[in-house]
Structure 1
């Protein structure tokens, strides 16, 4: 794939206590195959769909054994050091300073003011996703937070997002575009979301059949947290794998209803 523009979703990885079990789960659910782990990079193991890189699974380090398992989302950057400076300037916290990862690229990990954790990737020999928008690969992402005003002030200041607001009295949702094309969304978590659920980025993986995917999730020991629901964008549900990593699955070809109205909203 060509280089991703600054701010675009470009990669995902996740640390698992049992990487072998994760490979079995995602291999059956999403059809992933896996490369050899890289000992010099902590056993970092790439996942592939149709031979194209789509994510990575990593053995959890012993000192992180008590940390929740979660997918780590990467925004693209052409200059990770400059992005790190903007993160600081706009109230974010660097969890990891900019660092090279061999010749693959450079990264930084951070937390924004409302508590959402994320990473940034400046590509070297590893450009990021080799495939998106298809079954077995990343399709979409949304920042979920209770303090939407903080996320709204932060992300469009750090990345070149154009902001549109969904016209809906019941849902507080923003769409963040790059050069006129949707990049990801921002959803304000309401009181219906359990208080113990932290702010997070919900990632969506494409599937051929949402209902069949949910049957597979349950059979393999995972959980279905929400859905399925059919929307103008696809039929989707939010699930958890047996080790606790939450994500969504979506069949983008099964749709229902009209796309809601979106109006421009000036970034703070």
Structure 2
């Protein structure tokens, strides 16, 4: 994790591999909107409907995330999904397949918003590929209620790090420390995501997955709000070199982390 940076401006294309969106598919959209609206101050507006009912979450009138409706017949986990920028979604999807991953959705056009695909890496962790219109995508950062980091939790990092390096052109920065398996992924020299190898500590009921971090003003106060709004605290707040962090789940079980004092 690093200091939160303002996303690309309204007329800038994001560099390949740059996190550019987070999206959540849920079974009860209205309840989800109430939860995140109260927790982060988000408002919601209709978005592209190619994959079903979908809304964009806005903070101070600027886009931060998306929420879609998961059909009842789709037995998929309710989870936050990060999207990474691409200059050619079809070519990136082909590269995913060549490197041992799978493409579950797309590539397809999302109305005026851009072109996307939803894929999984060789460990099964789901992520999105996105080529957005110049004026769309996460457009605010560095303030409470915005996504600031994405971390892949997996069994071990060596194979999956090579996958992301090949697909998105990342540079790898392994952490050299006893007993810790961690790699920072860099795009254009800037840290953009992390990979953590947890070994047998990886939750067996979830498997490998991406975890999104949202910035908050006060971790303790946020945890109180989470529980009052029907969510759960999964890990107690603790200090890290990057700020005070805790992991929670919303009322439908979508897991995310909150961090105070990002740096």
Q: Contact conserved, 1:87 with 1:158, CA < 8 A, in 2?
A: yes
Partner of 2:64: 54
Q: State whether structure 2 residue 100 is matched by structure 1 residue 100.
A: no
Structure 1 residues 38 and 162, CA gap change in structure 2 (3 angstroms) = closer
Please say if 1:6 is aligned against 2:24.
Answer: no
Distance 2:231 2:195 in 1: 26
TM-superposed CA distance for 1:252, in Å, is: 2.2
Query: RMSD of the alignment, in Å?
Result: 1.7
Aligned residue runs from structure 1 range 1-268, under 5 A: 1=9, 2-36=12-46, 42-64=52-74, 66-124=75-133, 127-252=136-261
* 8 Å contact from structure 1 (residues 97, 109) kept in 2: yes
Are 2:155 and 2:202, in contact at CA under 8 Å, matched by a contact in 1? no
Offset of residue 38 of structure 1? 5.7
Gaps of 5+ in 1: 256-268
Question: CA separation of 1:108/1:187 partners in 2, compared to 1, >3 Å: closer, same or farther?
Answer: same
Deviation at 1:36, TM superposition (A): 3.5
TM-score (structure 2 length as normaliser): 0.91
Give, in angstroms, the shift of residue 77 of structure 1.
0.5
Distance between the aligned counterparts of 1:168 and 1:133, measured in 2? 29
* In structure 1, distance between residues paired with 2:48 and 2:100: 35
Q: Which has the higher contact order (CA 8 A, sep 6+)?
A: 2
Does the aligned pair in 2 maintain the 1:105–1:126 contact within 8 Å?
A: no
- The answer to whether the Cα contact below 8 Å between 1:238 and 1:247 also exists between their aligned partners in 2 is yes
- Cα gap change, 1:13/1:126 in structure 2, threshold over 3 Å: closer, same or farther? farther
What is the CA distance between 1:143 and its match in structure 2?
1.0
Tell me, in whole angstroms, the C-alpha distance in 1 between the residues paired with 2:206 and 2:113: 33
8 A Cα contact 1:101 1:107, kept in partner: yes
Supply the distance in 2 between the matched residues of 1:205 and 1:188 (Cα, whole angstroms). Answer: 21
Contact 2:49 2:110 in 1 (8 A): no
Query: In the comparison of the two structures, how many residue pairs are matched?
Result: 253
Runs of 4+ with >6 A deviation: none
| Runs (5+) with no aligned partner, structure 2 | 1-8
Q: Kindly indicate whether the alpha-carbon contact (under 8 Å) linking 1:103 and 1:125 is maintained by their aligned counterparts in 2.
A: no
